[in-house]
Amino acid sequence: MTMPKRDTYTPESLLAVAVEVFNERGYDGTSMEHLSRAAGISKSSIYHHVRGKEELLHRAVGRALEGLFGILDERGACEGRAVRRLEYVTRRTTEVLMDELPYVTLLLRVRGNTSTERWAMERRREFDQRVSALLKDAVAEGDLRADVEARLATRLLFGMINSLVEWYRPDGRASADAQQVVDAVVRLAFDGLRA
């Protein structure tokens, strides 16, 4: 096997560039010309690394979904009272969203025009339902208010968390910044704005 020493693109490193551009211009608003300019290689060279535009999208949303579903398998999401598990998932979802920001951003914006997008939307709905069940359990155990429907509350909770992709930008090496955001999300979600 040959191993080129000059720095070169892998499907993964190319994906990182592409996802940045997708998020800036929108997937449909991004041409292969845009991608090639951002990557610093020619349009045709991109096809050496990936099958095409849609494969880049598929890899990106796949990575985001992997991160999100991974949370549900962690110990904190499976053990203890439902309200503690929900708080854990809330915290971890926020963390994963910030860790994998560009990929999750892209996932949250797919509109369903291609089969890849429809697949992503379906898997996302699946994740939502898993968390909705968790919230419903916490209400049943008496730890969460019962005067707001579980499905509705889940949607508003995720609405708050997911909105991070609209404004959060990683702050250099300081993860103190990130932890502050996570705390704010958990506090506001569970205890509200009121003093």
Residue ranges binding a copy of itself (CB under 8 A): 24-26, 28-29, 111-113, 135, 142-149, 152-153, 155-164, 166-167, 180-181, 184-185, 187-195
- Of 9 and 22, which has the nearer Cβ to a copy of itself? 22
- Which residue lies nearer to a copy of itself by CB, 26 or 80? 26
Decide if 82 contacts 143 (C-beta within 8 A).
Answer: yes
CB distance 141 to 83 below 8 Å:
yes
| Distance of alpha carbon 187 from alpha carbon 9, whole angstroms | 42
* Cα separations in angstroms, 28 against 47, 73, 98, 112, 156: 18, 34, 24, 11, 27
- Non-local (6+) Cβ contacts of 119 within 8 A are none
State residue 161 phi and psi, 5-degree precision: -60, -50
Q: What are 147's two structure tokens?
A: 């005067």
Q: Which does 1 bind (CB under 5 to 8 A by kind): DNA, a copy of itself, none?
A: DNA
Smallest gap from residue 88 Cβ to DNA (A):
40
Residue closer to DNA, measured from CB, 50 or 72: 50
Which partner from the list DNA, a copy of itself, none does 152 bind, CB cut-off 5 to 8 Å by kind?
a copy of itself
Is the CB of 54 or the CB of 137 nearer to DNA?
A: 54
CB of 122 to DNA, least distance (A): 22
Q: How far is the CB of 132 from a copy of itself (least distance, A)?
A: 12
